[in-house]
Copies of this chain bind each other. A is one copy, B any other.
Amino acid sequence: MKYKLYYWPSIQGRGEFIRLALEDAGADYADVAREPGGMAAMTRILGNRSSKRAPFAPPFLAAGGRVIAQTPAILWFLGARLGLAPNDEAGRLWVHQLQLTMADWLVEVHDVHHPIGSGLHYEAQKRESKRRAADFLAVRLPKYLRYFDAVLGSSRGGFLLGRSVSYADLSLFQLVAGLRYAFPRAMARLERRHPRLTALHGRVAARPGLAVYLASERRIPFNQQGIFRHYPELDTLRNNSKKT
């Protein structure tokens, strides 16, 4: 099956979680908005509010006459088809549950630099961002890292489910990679407490399909328009929250 991914062409963003699954599996897909005329096609679909089952926002995936939006729903759909999810319902729901927790985490990462409004520039909410960043790095980020580190610990096989990889592992790789870009100083310190996350990142990056992808031009570099942004003034983790 040929898949068509619709997502903003200049950022990794939420679309990257889909790209990683498609690339890892070697799936045949088009990244539509990065092709000539693709942005217009995407805008047309988004603007057509009278169509049935219209997406609220990118990313969305067209496959076999269907259009599916919302990253976790797309990954539910692809997971079964690309061999990146278990076959049993309990296993599929567990992977999905992990993905949903990462989706919550991702919103919090984004809102560090956009605590007031996603349509306003960072510079217009910089003071608020500094306050939010302090809370995120001291409280929320450690909580998420601890949780996923513990899941990796109890699964024992190096991936979230054990020995077999799932799309949730690819997403966890992406979160670690993005957080390293956005908060290099804080992550250097926090990762020391969670070597299982560091190992997971390396294990996923070394997968054949992904190693090729990550070195290719198809992998959009992290930049200051995406979800993960590096503002040095936000990368502060006070010593009193250090527990190493």
Contacts and interface: CB of A to CB of B under 8 A. Distances in A.
Interface of A: 49-56, 66, 68-70, 72-73, 76-77, 90, 93-94, 96-97, 100-101, 103-104, 107, 111, 115-120, 125, 128, 131-132, 135-136, 139-140, 144, 146-147, 150-151, 153-155
A11 B136 CA distance: 24
Contact of A139 (B56, B100, B117, B147): B117
A118 B153 CA distance: 27
Given A72-B72, A101-B70, A147-B56, A93 B77 contact: yes
Given A50-B150, A51-B154, 5 more contacts: A56-B144, A69-B97, A73-B97, A119-B135, A120-B135
A101 B50 contact: no
Given A68-B97, A154-B50, A131 B132 contact: no
A155 to B, nearest CB: 8
A150 to B, nearest CB: 4
Contacts of A51: 154
Given A131-B128, A154-B51, A100 B117 contact: no
A54 B151 contact: yes
